[in-house]
Amino acid sequence: MEVRIDPSAGFCWGVVRAIDFAEKQLSESDKLYSLGEIIHNMAEVNRLGELGLESIKVEDFSKLKPGSKVLIRAHGEPPSTYKEALKYGIEIIDATCPVVAKVQERIRKFADNKFQVVIYGKKDHAEVIGLSGVTKDQAIVVLSVEEALESVNFSKPTVLFSQTTMDKETFKAIANTLKEKIEQLYIGSIEDEAVEFHAKNTICGQVSGREKRLRDFARSNDVIIFAAGKKSSNGKVLFDIAKEENANTFFIEEVSDIKDHWLKDAHNVGVTGATSTPHWLMKKIKNYIEEHFSSNDSLKL
């Protein structure tokens, strides 16, 4: 049996950077707060928790001692969070992913220029709350073409952005629909000037190339062990993609979730996961399978 770790799986660099920030702080002091879980992966949250990282909400700022350090994770935060931190004398360790920070900046410029901002993303997702926050929560957040058609005012200058982890095809469909609708209205109107419309594809390259690589990896193994946190939306999407390519794809959170019968006839096992799955966990899974199966059926790995 050969066990391989998917080379394209694991943390994106924005998350690696946030964890580096946390580890550096925790090497200097034994307490650091994080606004929300630093990553949607309980194994990693627990590991950092043992070093002194504790997840809190903005509402908890008032209970912290002035001077306490609070880490902003890769998803970023709305401007109101920074204001609250200032109010309570909290020191912010800002690990907002530079890609997300750049998107916030671009949205801010359009909002300042009185554009109607439309964001393709999930309303309750931390990144979208941050992106919408820079528009003073005036952005229209949509998940589909239908939602965009229902909520956008086509007579206003409009710009469309995307949450960084969304699907490219739906973004294109929303962009094309809005563009067509605005053009139709312009052609039918007696006004001279067309309403301005821009579509800014802000889907992160770390995410958009992953699907094809995952499909190839899933096809090239007999069994796929997919490790991710149950709360990870990226994990759910990627698991379904792997399962489409290989019916013998199994979702686990921890090594102890692995069932022997999944692997008994496999010659090649692929270990993969979401962008929030730590590399050390995939290594642990690989080691477990290698040790367990070499002793069970004396297959040398």
Q: Would you say 246 or 272 has its CB closer to ligand SF4?
A: 272
Nearest CA to 152 out of 120, 106, 108, 123 is that of: 120
41 binds ligand SF4 (CB under 6 A): no
Choices 85-93, 189-197, 201-209, 279-287 (CB under 6 A): range interacting with ligand SF4: 201-209
SS3 for 248-293, per residue?
A: CEEEECCHHHCCHHHHCCCCEEEEEECCCCCHHHHHHHHHHHHHHH
φ and ψ at residue 34, rounded to 5 degrees? -125, 135
Residue at shortest CB range from ligand SF4: 14
Q: Which of 37, 44, 77, 127 is catalytic?
A: 127
Distance CA 44, CA 281 (A): 9
**Considering Cα of 182, then 184, then 185, then 190, what sign does the dihedral take?**
positive
Q: Would you say 13 or 154 has its CB closer to ligand SF4?
A: 13
Beta carbon of residue 209, minimum distance to ligand SF4 (angstroms, whole number)? 11
For residue 19, the one-letter residue type is I
Distance CA 233, CA 109 (A): 29
For residue 4, the one-letter residue type is R
Choices 28-36, 111-119, 171-179, 200-208 (CB under 6 A): range interacting with ligand SF4: 200-208
Beta carbon of residue 59, minimum distance to ligand SF4 (angstroms, whole number)? 24
Query: Contacts with ligand SF4: how many residues (CB under 6 A)?
Result: 14
Distance CA 196, CA 103 (A): 20
Distance CA 56, CA 152 (A): 35
Q: Which of 34, 165, 232, 272 binds ligand SF4 (CB under 6 A)?
A: 165
Which residues contact residue 188 at a Cβ distance below 8 angstroms, ignoring those fewer than 6 apart? none
What mask of x and - would describe binding to ligand SF4 in positions 90 to 109, judged by CB under 6 A? -------x-xx---------
Q: How many residues does the chain have?
A: 301
Q: How far apart are the first and last CA of the chain?
A: 6
206 binds ligand SF4 (CB under 6 A): yes
77 part of the active site: no
CB 97 within 8 A of CB 120: no
14 binds ligand SF4 (CB under 6 A): yes
For residue 56, the one-letter residue type is I
Q: Would you say 102 or 123 has its CB closer to ligand SF4?
A: 102
Choices 12-20, 85-93, 138-146, 248-256 (CB under 6 A): range interacting with ligand SF4: 12-20
Q: Which of 48, 134, 207, 282 binds ligand SF4 (CB under 6 A)?
A: 207
74 binds ligand SF4 (CB under 6 A): yes
Choices 9-17, 53-61, 153-161, 193-201 (CB under 6 A): range interacting with ligand SF4: 9-17
Q: Would you say 80 or 208 has its CB closer to ligand SF4?
A: 208
Show which residues are catalytic: 127
User: Given the rule CB under 6 A, which residues bind ligand SF4?
Assistant: 12-15, 74, 97, 99-100, 164-165, 204, 206-207, 275
